[in-house]
Amino acid sequence: MITNKSLKTLVTSLILLLLLGGCDSIRTTIDKVRLKTIGITVTEPDTETAEWVLMNAIEAARDKNEAAGWQKFQHMLHSSERSVAALRGWYTGAWPRMRKQIDHYDINGDGSFKIVDVREMTRSAGGIAGYEYYIVSKKKEMPTPCAVYKDEENGEKWRIRRCSL
């Protein structure tokens, strides 16, 4: 026969087991819910992190001197995006659009931006290859993706491979 006391003990034990055994998965779930509902504002990322690369790209696009901004932006591109044809594509397509729309993504007028989703990209051999960040726009309903990958040809530094800002 199950008594009230033994039922309470059983429920308490189950809760403790779930919490202790699944702390990482619970924390991950909570972080994902927080990310999707309120987002994360990036204001002062650590140097050479993926978020730092995105902030530098935003700052380059905000530069009043277009040529100087373009020089800064190029350094944030992944080596796979630095061929003559790829740079021409960035310079004639994504770069002008980014400069024109950058204020839509700059949350506080200081280059900070808000992420509402992150998707991890894995290498075929395992391990993290990159992240696809979804950045909030003040004008668009849907967040805009930017993919930042580790650049093997550049000392495994984070660099931009795709960005639709």
- Tens of pLDDT, residues 2-28: 556 544 654 454 454 445 555 555 555
Listed by start position, the domains of the chain span 1-36, 39-163
Q: What is the secondary structure of 4-19 as a DSSP string? A: HHHHHHHHHHHHHHHH
Sign of CA dihedral 104, 108, 112, 118: negative
Question: What pLDDT is attached to residue 125?
Answer: 79
Contact 158, 49 (CB under 8 A): yes
pLDDT of residue 12: 54
What does the block give as tokens for 15?
A: 């809760």
Give the residues of the chain that fall short of pLDDT 70: 1-38
How confident is the model at residue 32, as a pLDDT?
Answer: 60
With 0.85 as the threshold, say if the pTM is over it. no
Which pLDDT value is given to residue 8?
60
Other CB atoms within 10 Å distance of the CB of residue 5: 8
User: What would the DSSP string read from start to end of 25-38?
Assistant: HHHHHHHHHHHHHT
Report the pLDDT value the prediction gives residue 31, as an integer from 0 to 100: 58
